[in-house]
């Protein structure tokens, strides 16, 4: 377990945020950590949606249970946090 900095590019926000996460956090936990800085401040919550994480510029989301250490991020790498409709 180690503190690890990522840059959050949160959908709908115009501010990039440096977000400290733990190397053992899952992508869901990374998304939640990023949401603290954006949702309710500059971005409206979207009930019925979940947050997903992908590398900046990538098309595919990272698995929700993947840990930061498994993703191979570089310190301060930018990740995009995107709203996705929750499965029914």
CA dihedral of 66, 22, 74, 57, whole degrees rounded to 10: 50
What order of strands is seen across the sheet that includes strand 17-22? 17-22, 3-10, 78-85, 49-55
Each residue of 34-88: pLDDT tens digit?
999 999 899 999 988 999 999 999 999 999 999 999 999 999 999 999 999 987 6
Helices (H), 1-88: 27-38, 68-71
Q: Which residue has the tokens 């919550």?
A: 45
Residue with tokens 């992908």: 54
* pTM, rounded to two decimals: 0.93
| Domains of the chain with CATH codes | 3-85 (3.10.20.270)
Residue 70 burial by CB count (10 A; 0-12/13-18/19+): exposed, middle or buried? middle
């Amino acid at each position: 377990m180690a503190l690890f900095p990522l840059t959050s590019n949160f959908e709908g926000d115009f501010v990039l945020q440096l977000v400290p996460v733990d190397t053992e956090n899952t992508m869901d936990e990374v998304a939640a950590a990023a949401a603290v800085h954006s949702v309710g401040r500059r971005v409206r919550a979207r009930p019925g949606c979940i947050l997903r994480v992908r590398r900046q510029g990538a098309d595919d989301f990272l698995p929700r249970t993947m840990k930061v250490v498994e993703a191979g991020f570089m310190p301060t790498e930018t990740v995009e946090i995107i709203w996705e409709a929750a499965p029914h």
